[in-house]
Amino acid sequence: MLTTTTKENLTSAVDKVITAGVPGTSVCVVGKDGKELFSYATGKRGLESPEQMTTENIFWIASCTKMITGIACMQLVEQGKMILDDVGFVENICPGLKNVKVLKDDGTLEDKKRGIRLRMLFTHTGMLMAILI
């Protein structure tokens, strides 16, 4: 449950986005149990639209696949269905990562010295500057 003060702060923060030039926006906070705790929308549906933004509007989100995938994966980590620091877990899901070669500065390939973990993929420390074999 969110306090009245928290809801007021969230509303104020969303309203500030509109005054910064964003035509419209909405926010929804959902608890771990899946119940909606707070939702709010403000502004217009577009730069030239006279329609008010509502929490029921459907709109296109571009270039957010990494964010959405990250959120979904972290929910699975929270549920104990995915493991952040287990090399075997990642290699079981993506067997091609087991035999990845690492590209060295001189352009040659060498075997990786450690396994790729889910945490590395999220923080981009396991970036595939490597070539799958």
Domain hosting 124: range is: 82-131
Judgement on whether residues 53 and 9 belong to the same structural domain of the protein: yes
Rounded to two decimals, the pTM is 0.53
Write the burial class of residue 112 (CB in 10 Å: 0-12 exposed, 13-18 middle, 19+ buried).
middle
Instruction: Tell me, yes or no, whether 66 lies in a domain.
Output: no
**Structural domain count of the chain:** 2
Nearest C-alpha neighbor of 117 from the set 86, 82, 74: 86
Judgement on whether residues 94 and 126 belong to the same structural domain of the protein: yes
Question: What pLDDT, in 10s, does the model give residues 108-123?
Answer: 888 888 888 888 888 7
Instruction: Tell me, yes or no, whether 71 lies in a domain.
Output: no
CB 118 within 8 A of CB 85: yes
Instruction: Tell me, yes or no, whether 68 lies in a domain.
Output: no
Cα→Cα distances 9→16, 28, 53, Å:
11, 14, 19
Instruction: Tell me, yes or no, whether 124 lies in a domain.
Output: yes
Q: Which two tokens stand for residue 29?
A: 């906070």
Instruction: Tell me, yes or no, whether 69 lies in a domain.
Output: no
Confidence (pLDDT) at 11: 93
Instruction: Tell me, yes or no, whether 65 lies in a domain.
Output: no
Judgement on whether residues 51 and 87 belong to the same structural domain of the protein: no
Tell me the mean pLDDT in the region 11-27.
Answer: 87
Tell me the mean pLDDT in the region 14-22.
Answer: 85
- Distance, in Å, from the CA atom of 107 to the CA atom of 90, rounded to the nearest integer, reads 26
Instruction: Tell me, yes or no, whether 75 lies in a domain.
Output: no
